[in-house]
Structure 1
Amino acid sequence: MGSVAQEESRMCDVLIVGGGPVGLVTAFQLAKFGGVSVTIIEKHAKSNQDQYGRAITLYPRSTEMLDQLGLADELAQECFACRSTVSYDPCGKEVTGRGWAFMEDMKDTQWDFALVLRQKYQEEIFRRRLRELGVHLEAPTELMSMQVAETMPKDGRRVTAVVKDGLTGMCSTIKCKYLIGADGGRSFVRRALQVPFDGETTEDKWVRIDGMIETDMPKNRVYGAIESPTHGNVLWAALDHGATRIGFAFTAERQKGYPEFNEAAAVAEAIASVKPFKLEFKQVDWFTVYSVGQRIARNFFVQDCVFLAGDACHTHSSGAAQGMNTGMHDSVNLGWKLSLVLRGLAQPSLLQTYESERLPNVQKLINYDKDISRLMTMQLPLGWKGDPNTDPNEILGVVMAEAATFTTGLGISYESNLLNVRSATTCASKTSTLKPGQRGPDVKLLKPGTLEITRLHRETPNNARFHVVVFSGDPTYTSESLTSLTTAALTSVISPTSTSPAPLPISWLTIPSRSGPSAYELLGVQPLGKVFYDDAAMTAYRRYGIDVQKGAVVVLRPDGWIGMICALDATAVGEMERYFRSFLFVR
């Protein structure tokens, strides 16, 4: 018998399986944060001839997270920034408050629009940025097998993966400490570990088709919906580079007319779906037909060394355009945690919070998606108790509006755990209307001296460091408290002036409620970290709900969620020390 050609084995800290956006952004984070060796493989060849299609939309919170990683500006250069929506009834009459109307009210963020950029272009940007950090996507390279050495110490290279080069046919072995399965809905990693993929695939089929079109639809460079009596709630999405995506339900009755579903069939059905408007395709970039369903992996973190992310651990319809967004949330939640653990800065128990934070939010999405996908195919939700003759399009508008803050990502929150801690002093002083586990809002700030406008998210980038934000309030009232905090902080293990050979991954910044010619003179003490002033309208204090006569200390996690909030006094330092000791290695 012949044997498969085998190269020598190699080693890395993390092997990422899957070269889509989730795998690429996860690899980018680990490489950017430093101190971790990363290998990323993709079964399919990647080139400029990649298909278009697939995911197209990033909602505000996803873009915020990519912005804090330094990736969003390049995406914005190429995207279609969608701030307008429209819905048409079966007669072509515009109706309000339905479909994607919630997109026009995405506030409280600099990225107050849907960033529409086809996955092909996003991946090109992510691959290029990853190469700049010295990491190259290995494609086509397929994962053939994987084993976990359960008896090996947890800080060892417990995972042994055999991969095959798709061009040479050569197999090699990769030994790693952690493996991340970002390899899609048919994930080899998930199946190899026998992780149950709970849920179902329905008999409903949807079609998506992208291309260059001409139409008489009055508003056509928008995110739109056409309430078709034959094709359900039809998606109309203006795309990057002047293209358009049309998506519609492909009913069993319509399927009978096509012994083979090819490009011509997709075009014919697209034309029928947008009636009474006219449609002509000048060019077809991509089309697909797929079955709608919802599934979720029972575990996102297996055997303390294998993670599942993106479609590998959850699949759903494209009804609310959540696929890539949910994957970005997975990636960003995991990236900094894994980096801190691998660099010996955080305790391995931190990794358990990936599943405990992400899985409940994915389950919430799937519950929404079950209703949305049925309504888009002109079916009322399962268990519907209202009028059976209700127009599904009306209910869809209500459901989409109710799910808006979750869909945009701005309302996604995490339950209390070792990272999200409700402080005793916060409860007593009621210094903020926000709670740990919620997103830290982005707010306008002013730089000292020039009073140049900047933003909190820009000054608290995701570099796998926690940001301690001191809202110092009005010094007229907070001088004594601020002095006590500063004195305690400078002698603490979390001091911003620490000269330890292994300093903690913590940065400080101070936000007075008003500006002055000198931060030192304004505060009466040496500021903790960099200083940025609130604007004249005290936007930052108002948004964070902080009393300028009391001030507060807000700890932002690397991914931008609030970790804890303390009163502005000496007790805050002790509370923060206890907080960081619960998951960091504090020397």
Structure 2
Amino acid sequence: MMSDAEPTVEIVDVLVIGGGPVGLVTALQLARNLPNHRVKIIEKESKSAQDQYGRAITLYPRSSEMLDQLGLADSLAQQCFACRSTVNYDKNGNEVPGRGWSFMENMNDTKWNFALVLRQKYQEEIFRQALAEEGVQLESAWELTKIDIVEGVDMGGHRVIGTMENRARQETKLVKCRYLIGADGGRSFVRRAMDIPFDGTSSEDKWVRVDGVVETDLPKPRTYCAIESPTHGNVLWAALDRGATRIGYAFTPATQQAYTVFDEDAAVKEAVAAVKPFSLSFKQVDWWTIYVVGQRIARSFFVEDCIFLAGDSCHTHSSGAAQGMNTGLHDAVNLGWKLSLVLQGLAKADVLHTYEKERLPNVQRLINYDKDIARLMTMHLPENWTGDADADPNEILGKVMAEAGTFTSGLGIFYEPDDYLNVNQFARLSSILPGQRAPDVKLQKPATFEDTRLQRETPNVARFYIVMFVGRVEKTKSRLTAFDESVARFPWLFDSKYPISWLSVFGGPGGASAYEIMGDMPHGRVLYDEDWVAHNRYGIGADQGAVMIIRPDGWVGSVVELGEQGGQGLERYFKRFLILGDELSR
């Protein structure tokens, strides 16, 4: 029973519910970008270094890229198992190429061309430490028990009142906030409190996962491996950090019926059976679980203009393609910069509605893949299968996972062109279109000529980057002059109070002075594309050049010409959502 004393009232700008990776990364972005605002994050469980290992383990390349732009990936890489190898064994222990996780060996076009395997326990420690460095501590053992929306308060005001309880301390607290983010998992209280339907189904299929340190005669144990078991489905074997391994297998009806009580000993016994014909013994067991396979999507990710859902609170699926945490981090990064700009008064509140608009179609794509992958891993053909009824599910699984490869890696995830953040303006200037990922390309710094990368030069600090691909200056000189004249009509593009930074990328070997190459000082930071790798990857002609607008999260917002229409193209793009001129001062 809670204390009868009048609860204290705390006023913050953003209240984040849930201390997992999604909540932590969202809160971290807000804390960094909003030093004059208050961000609070709570978690109903006790979060400590003693947390169970379990849960998510794999970050794919695009997630690693996004975390790199937030300054987090290097710390993850220090501890991770970097998995670049896969193998698939049939029921007799023979290698079968091109099946299972083989797509992971073709995750190219990125520095992070591997699966970054680090158990969630350790990832959360890194995220919590980074958040603490921004002055925000995760407050554990506080449970949100009620949400009230205050009538008569303007949008963007402190419209939300959250009631929090700490049962161990018999304490109740009220928190008033402008925005509340529910990153509180598949059983989300926020989703239920806001009466948001969670559409989808849970199947009868169940899977078991066991983590620990093992001994085995499996020939390639430090890989992402699939074993085509005739009794336990398509078995997952994943090399983990600190020399550990995860074994995952289908908890079939036959296995369920064989046990009155399915405990850790039973989970280990069945893991040993699942990897036959290879031998397996556990030197230690860190964690094990059984869970029901299903797919669900919240009907809304943003309600009342002040309540967001992110991660498992708005979409759940199987761990078949190891997408849960990756998809949640995409949510966190997409939402983080948008809410930061709105709270700073730099962007119109309408931009918040693009969070659901952009994330929902990608979640639906994931669900569609996941339904097929989950059934195939449990040795069932997809529900809408129209092919050979006797087809080998393992063979079909390999094809489905290969087809989904660029989506699974995240490198192929895109946002549909629109008239707001992903705007087509000038055709045929670049092979990279608005809404697509901005490829990370090698560049050189001036004077020292030391190597750098585009994503290293465009960190996610809630700023847009205008990247001028200058091409071959002797050929683009007239275009540069016309562009300079056109942007001069919009001096606010260079005003530091707006969330815009400039980079100039010169094609070819760098000279002693960028000024001497151009005959004037370039816009923003100078970088060289010595071998034309960057221009070629972006499909930008050396004699034409182009100007890319790169969003804070590393997707292309628009492309404008390096010429007399360039300034107008930039102005058309930014005026759609930024608060400019007199509006900003108000």
* Partner of residue 355, structure 1: 356
Which deviations, in whole Å up to 9, do the C-alpha atoms of 1:540-585 show, x marking residues without a partner?
0010000010000000000000000011013111111121111000
* Partner of residue 232, structure 2: 231
* Partner of residue 90, structure 1: 91
Check whether the contact 1:271–1:278 (CA below 8 A) recurs between aligned residues: yes
- 1:445-464 to structure 2, matched below 5 A, reads 445-464=443-462
Which deviations, in whole Å up to 9, do the C-alpha atoms of 1:377-401 show, x marking residues without a partner?
0000012111111100000000000
Taking the aligned partners of 1:417 and 1:299, their CA distance within structure 2 comes to 20
Check whether the contact 2:346–2:499 (CA below 8 A) recurs between aligned residues: yes
* Partner of residue 486, structure 1: 484
Which 10-residue stretch deviates more, 151-160 or 443-452?
A: 151-160
Check whether the contact 1:510–1:529 (CA below 8 A) recurs between aligned residues: yes
Structure 2 residue 580 is matched with structure 1 residue 573: no
Secondary structure at 1:412 match in 2: coil
- TM-score, normalised to structure 1, is 0.97
* Partner of residue 30, structure 2: 30
Taking the aligned partners of 1:270 and 1:396, their CA distance within structure 2 comes to 21
Secondary structure at 2:37 match in 1: coil
Taking the aligned partners of 2:43 and 2:140, their CA distance within structure 1 comes to 5
Structure 2 residue 548 is matched with structure 1 residue 554: yes
* 1:484 shift after superposition: 1.9
* 1:3 shift after superposition: 5.6
Which deviations, in whole Å up to 9, do the C-alpha atoms of 1:166-216 show, x marking residues without a partner?
431200000000000000000000000010000000010100000000000
* Partner of residue 138, structure 1: 139
Which deviations, in whole Å up to 9, do the C-alpha atoms of 1:265-299 show, x marking residues without a partner?
10001000000000000000000001100000000
Structure 2 residue 403 is matched with structure 1 residue 391: no
Secondary structure at 2:13 match in 1: strand
Taking the aligned partners of 2:5 and 2:99, their CA distance within structure 1 comes to 59
Query: Which residue identity is paired with 1:522?
Result: I
* 1:150 shift after superposition: 4.0
- 1:518-533 to structure 2, matched below 5 A, reads 518-533=513-528
Check whether the contact 1:4–1:170 (CA below 8 A) recurs between aligned residues: no
* Partner of residue 507, structure 1: 501
Taking the aligned partners of 2:412 and 2:18, their CA distance within structure 1 comes to 29
Taking the aligned partners of 1:7 and 1:178, their CA distance within structure 2 comes to 21
Distance 1:211 1:12, change over 3 A: same
* Partner of residue 270, structure 1: 271
Query: Which residue identity is paired with 2:517?
Result: L
Taking the aligned partners of 1:155 and 1:295, their CA distance within structure 2 comes to 30
* Partner of residue 180, structure 2: 179
Taking the aligned partners of 1:80 and 1:190, their CA distance within structure 2 comes to 35
Check whether the contact 1:310–1:324 (CA below 8 A) recurs between aligned residues: yes
Query: Which residue identity is paired with 1:322?
Result: Q
* Partner of residue 407, structure 2: 406
State the identity as a percent: 61
Structure 2 residue 247 is matched with structure 1 residue 252: no
* Partner of residue 192, structure 2: 191
* 1:486 shift after superposition: 2.0
* Partner of residue 584, structure 2: none
Taking the aligned partners of 1:23 and 1:493, their CA distance within structure 2 comes to 38
* Partner of residue 12, structure 1: 12
Secondary structure at 1:564 match in 2: strand
* Partner of residue 436, structure 2: 438
Check whether the contact 2:417–2:424 (CA below 8 A) recurs between aligned residues: no
Query: Which residue identity is paired with 2:25?
Result: V
Secondary structure at 1:532 match in 2: strand
Check whether the contact 1:25–1:126 (CA below 8 A) recurs between aligned residues: yes
Secondary structure at 1:93 match in 2: coil
Query: Which residue identity is paired with 1:388?
Result: A
* 1:517 shift after superposition: 1.4
Structure 2 residue 543 is matched with structure 1 residue 542: no
* 1:423 shift after superposition: 3.9
* 1:492 shift after superposition: 1.7
Check whether the contact 1:80–1:115 (CA below 8 A) recurs between aligned residues: yes
Taking the aligned partners of 1:293 and 1:549, their CA distance within structure 2 comes to 53
Check whether the contact 2:416–2:422 (CA below 8 A) recurs between aligned residues: no
Check whether the contact 1:511–1:533 (CA below 8 A) recurs between aligned residues: yes
* 1:475 shift after superposition: 1.0
Distance 1:222 1:5, change over 3 A: farther
Check whether the contact 1:493–1:586 (CA below 8 A) recurs between aligned residues: no
* Partner of residue 67, structure 1: 68
Distance 1:127 1:386, change over 3 A: same
Check whether the contact 1:464–1:505 (CA below 8 A) recurs between aligned residues: yes
State the Cα RMSD in Å.
1.2
Which deviations, in whole Å up to 9, do the C-alpha atoms of 1:20-45 show, x marking residues without a partner?
00000000000111233100000000
Taking the aligned partners of 2:65 and 2:292, their CA distance within structure 1 comes to 31
* 1:149 shift after superposition: 1.9
* 1:491 shift after superposition: 4.5
Query: Which residue identity is paired with 2:473?
Result: P
Check whether the contact 2:30–2:340 (CA below 8 A) recurs between aligned residues: yes
- TM-score, normalised to structure 2, is 0.97
* Partner of residue 50, structure 1: 51
Check whether the contact 1:423–1:575 (CA below 8 A) recurs between aligned residues: no
Taking the aligned partners of 2:420 and 2:529, their CA distance within structure 1 comes to 27
Unmatched 5+ stretches in structure 1: none
Taking the aligned partners of 1:422 and 1:41, their CA distance within structure 2 comes to 37
Secondary structure at 1:73 match in 2: helix
Taking the aligned partners of 1:522 and 1:384, their CA distance within structure 2 comes to 60
